[in-house]
Amino acid sequence: MLFWRSTYSKNRDKNSVYELKKIEIGGIEQWILIRGKNRDNPILLFLHGGPGSAQIAVSKAYFSKLEENFIVVNWDQRGAGLSYSKDIPKNTMTVKNFVNDTKELIYYLLNTYNKKKIFLVGHSWGSGLGILVADKYPQLIQTYVGIGQIGDMQENEKIAYEYVYNYAHKTNNIRAIKQLKKIGEPPYNKLINSMRIRSRWTNRFGGKLYKFDMKQFMLNFLISSEYTIADAYKFIKGNSYSMKTMWEEVSNLNLLNLVPKLNVPVYFLLGKYDYTVPFEIAEKYFNKLTAPFKEIIWFNNSAHCIPFEEPLKFQKLLIDKLTDVKY
Q: What is the pLDDT of residues 147-168, one digit of tens each?
A: 999 999 999 999 999 999 999 9
Residue 276 contacts residue 148 (beta carbons within 8 Å): yes
Write out the chain's pLDDT in tens, 327 residues: 555 556 555 556 788 999 999 999 999 999 999 999 999 999 999 999 999 999 999 999 999 999 999 999 999 999 999 999 999 999 999 999 999 999 999 999 999 999 999 999 999 999 999 999 999 999 999 999 999 999 999 999 999 999 999 999 999 999 999 999 999 999 998 988 999 999 999 999 999 999 888 888 888 888 888 999 889 999 999 999 999 999 999 999 999 999 999 999 999 999 999 999 999 999 999 999 999 999 999 999 999 999 999 999 999 999 999 987 654
Q: How far apart, in whole angstroms, are the C-alpha atoms of residue 147 and residue 131?
A: 11
**Beta-carbon contacts of residue 14 (< 8 Å; ≥ 6 apart):** none
Per-residue pLDDT, 27: 96
Catalytic residues: 124, 274, 304
Per-residue pLDDT, 115: 97
CB neighbour burial string for 17-27, b if at least 16 within 10 angstroms, e if fewer: bbebeeeebbe
Q: What is the CA radius of gyration of the chain?
A: 19
**Beta-carbon contacts of residue 51 (< 8 Å; ≥ 6 apart):** 77, 79, 80, 93, 125, 242, 243, 246, 247, 250
Q: Which domains, and CATH codes, for the chain?
A: 17-152+208-322 (3.40.50.1820)
Q: Work out whether the CA dihedral 55, 58, 62, 68 comes out positive or negative.
A: positive
Residues forming beta bridges with residue 131, ordered by sequence position:
none
